[in-house]
Amino acid sequence: MKQRISFLLVIIITGLSFSGCKQGQNKLTDQEAADGWKLLFDGKTLNGWRDFKGDSVIQAPWVAEKGTLTSLGKGSDSTGYIVTEKQYENFIIAFDWKISDGGNSGLLYHVVERPEYKVPYVTGPEYQLIDDAGFASPIEEWQKAGADYAMYICDPAKKKLMPAGEWNTSKIVFDNGHVENWLNGEKVLEFEAWSDDWFSRKGSGKWENAPEYGLARSGVFAVQDHGSRVWFRNMKIKELPRKPGQESLFNGKDLTGWDVYGTELWYVKDGELVCESGPDKEYGYLGTRKYYNDFDLSLEFKEEANGNSGVFIRSYIKKGVEISGWQVEVAPPGNDTGGIYESYGRGWIYQIPEEKENILKKDDWNKMRIKVAGDKVTTWLNGEVMTDLTDQKIGQGKGRILLQIHSGGGIKVRWRNFNLSEL
């Protein structure tokens, strides 16, 4: 009788264990919920996900089945992406995944959706998911599972990858530029985004011709159907706080931290940053290497010769010297210095009142302040408010700070005392 009772207890306990395990998939514990974790996949539907640059999941070959977010293996390099509806900045994301024999996929973050971008990976860093052993052709270390694709490779001594068809557990930590990739309980790599080493890798490899790759501070997550089946479960995220900081964008010595676009002239002289028209007399830009979304920036400028220039905010380079974003105008007297112009869009969205044109000091140093917070932009010139604007489209933008040389030739502007506080 005692043996029978013991046997029944074993069956009951075992059944409860399996039931508990099953019930635990795609759910948060009470402690996780209290700590701020949220599910990215509810285990039953595609709620919270949509096609890349779409409104819902219509074209991408993804389904929710048997408690997993599953690709059907019908995508390609240029198709088959779904993204989260929400954007994320700093986070810890954890997820289980398995892949089919010879399969290839990835999870990308900080993806920016713009009309000219056909794929997410030209902006978003990728945690590589692949069948290392079974992939059809030889692959480099930077292509293997757990790598920060085409940038940082895993520590082979710490990497333990399960075979195709078996579950792996992964984690990505992105904390104000500090990045960690974890695989099956081990930290397999870490690095600092936007460091000199990071930019060196970006500029000399696969992303050499992708100027906006990895620069965004926030964006959506994307998962990829690359022509093979991949399964996800227990996808959960904990958002981390932004750490405000102060920066001097210009060191007074050289152009460190900036990128030049076009053939016009940018140089440092007597501790000042100088922009000057070159022989081509075309547009030219000097852009920060990093994106700045919410910030308070002050700087000084002095117009010499024709001062037709500007400070672009939340802007990006489309190609060559084509720029998209918003310019805080710097121009000769009578031409709306401190107003806001939208490139490749609406044109002038705020021109300053005529009675404020005399605030600009001709042939002297001027102090400009630009504050960008959400959808609100305020500009000051020599202590006077020039623009106080709320604009939904600006609120949706993200990008760099860039200085401009206008086309036409004969332009020369001096800049100094750059100070930026991130909000």
Judge contact between 181 and 154, C-beta under 8 A: yes
Q: Rounded to an integer, what distance in angstroms lies between the CA atom of residue 289 and that of residue 212?
A: 9
The full DSSP string for 69-119 is EEE-S---SSS-EEEESS-BSSEEEEEEEEE-TT-EEEEEEEE---TT--S
Judge contact between 83 and 50, C-beta under 8 A: yes
Mean of pLDDT over the chain: 93
Give strand pairing partners of 366. 301
Q: Report the run of H or E that residue 12 belongs to, with start and end.
A: helix 2-24
Q: How confident is the model at residue 30, as a pLDDT?
A: 96
Paired tokens of 261: 């676009």
Q: Is residue 1 part of a domain?
A: no
| Of the candidates 7, 10, 220, the residue with the CA atom closest to the CA atom of residue 107 | 220
| The amino acid at 54 | G
What's the start-to-end Cα distance of the chain, in Å? 71
Paired tokens of 204: 């000399």
Check whether 284 has a pLDDT greater than 50: yes
Together in a domain, 297 and 156? no
Together in a domain, 343 and 386? yes
Together in a domain, 91 and 213? yes
Summarize the confidence of residues 26-47 as an average pLDDT: 97
Measured between alpha carbons, how far is residue 28 from residues 39, 41, 169, 191 in Å? 7, 11, 16, 29
Residue linked to tokens 């964006």: 219
Together in a domain, 311 and 205? no
Assign residue 262 the CATH number of its domain: 2.60.120.560
Together in a domain, 233 and 258? no
Judge contact between 415 and 272, C-beta under 8 A: yes
Residue linked to tokens 């860093």: 125
Summarize the confidence of residues 3-8 as an average pLDDT: 45
Q: Is residue 226 part of a domain?
A: yes
Check whether 2 has a pLDDT greater than 50: no
Q: Is residue 156 part of a domain?
A: yes
Q: Rounded to an integer, what distance in angstroms lies between the CA atom of residue 234 and that of residue 96?
A: 6
Together in a domain, 333 and 394? yes
Q: 60: Cβ–Cβ under 8 A, 6 or more apart, which residues?
A: 51, 52, 54, 75, 79, 80, 81, 82, 225
Check whether 43 has a pLDDT greater than 90: yes
Residue linked to tokens 């060196």: 200
| Of the candidates 199, 331, 328, 319, the residue with the CA atom closest to the CA atom of residue 262 | 319
DSSP state of 122: G
Together in a domain, 199 and 60? yes
Summarize the confidence of residues 224-240 as an average pLDDT: 97
**Where are the alpha helices (H) located in 340-423, listed in sequence order?**
392-396
Number of H helices, E strands in the chain: 4, 28
**Selected residue with higher pLDDT from 269 and 243:** 269
Q: Rounded to an integer, what distance in angstroms lies between the CA atom of residue 371 and that of residue 295?
A: 6
Q: Is residue 146 part of a domain?
A: yes
Check whether 10 has a pLDDT greater than 90: no
Judge contact between 305 and 413, C-beta under 8 A: no
Summarize the confidence of residues 306-313 as an average pLDDT: 93
Q: Is residue 166 part of a domain?
A: yes
Q: Rounded to an integer, what distance in angstroms lies between the CA atom of residue 192 and that of residue 217?
A: 13
Check whether 116 has a pLDDT greater than 80: yes
Q: Rounded to an integer, what distance in angstroms lies between the CA atom of residue 154 and that of residue 152?
A: 7
Q: State which of 239, 267, 284 marks the end of a domain.
A: 239
Q: How confident is the model at residue 357, as a pLDDT?
A: 96
Together in a domain, 113 and 255? no
Together in a domain, 173 and 132? yes
Q: How confident is the model at residue 18, as a pLDDT?
A: 38
Q: How confident is the model at residue 12, as a pLDDT?
A: 41
Q: 368: pLDDT confidence band, cut at 50, 70 and 90?
A: very high
The helix/strand/coil state of 7 is helix
> Alpha-carbon torsion 62, 66, 69, 72, what sign?
negative
Together in a domain, 230 and 340? no
Together in a domain, 230 and 287? no
**Residue 15 phi, psi dihedral angles, 5° rounding:** -65, -40
Per DSSP (E only), the strands in 186-239 are 186-192, 220-224, 230-239
Measured between alpha carbons, how far is residue 271 from residues 221, 267, 415 in Å? 42, 10, 9
Check whether 86 has a pLDDT greater than 70: yes
If you count them, how many residues does the chain have?
423
> How do the residues of the chain divide into helix, strand and coil, expressed in percent and rounded to 5?
15, 45, 45
Q: Beta strand 104-111 with 246-247: parallel, antiparallel or unpaired? A: unpaired
Together in a domain, 215 and 258? no
Summarize the confidence of residues 266-292 as an average pLDDT: 95
Q: How confident is the model at residue 150, as a pLDDT?
A: 98
Summarize the confidence of residues 322-329 as an average pLDDT: 96
For residue 113, the enclosing domain spans 24-239
The helix/strand/coil state of 166 is coil
* pTM (predicted TM-score): 0.86
Q: Is residue 16 part of a domain?
A: no
Q: Is residue 125 part of a domain?
A: yes
Q: State which of 223, 239, 255 marks the end of a domain.
A: 239
| Of the candidates 94, 123, 106, the residue with the CA atom closest to the CA atom of residue 36 | 94
Check whether 1 has a pLDDT greater than 50: no
Check whether 411 has a pLDDT greater than 60: yes
Q: State which of 210, 239, 268 marks the end of a domain.
A: 239
Q: Report the run of H or E that residue 324 belongs to, with start and end.
A: strand 322-330
Q: Is residue 17 part of a domain?
A: no
Looking at the structure of the chain, the number of domains it has is: 2
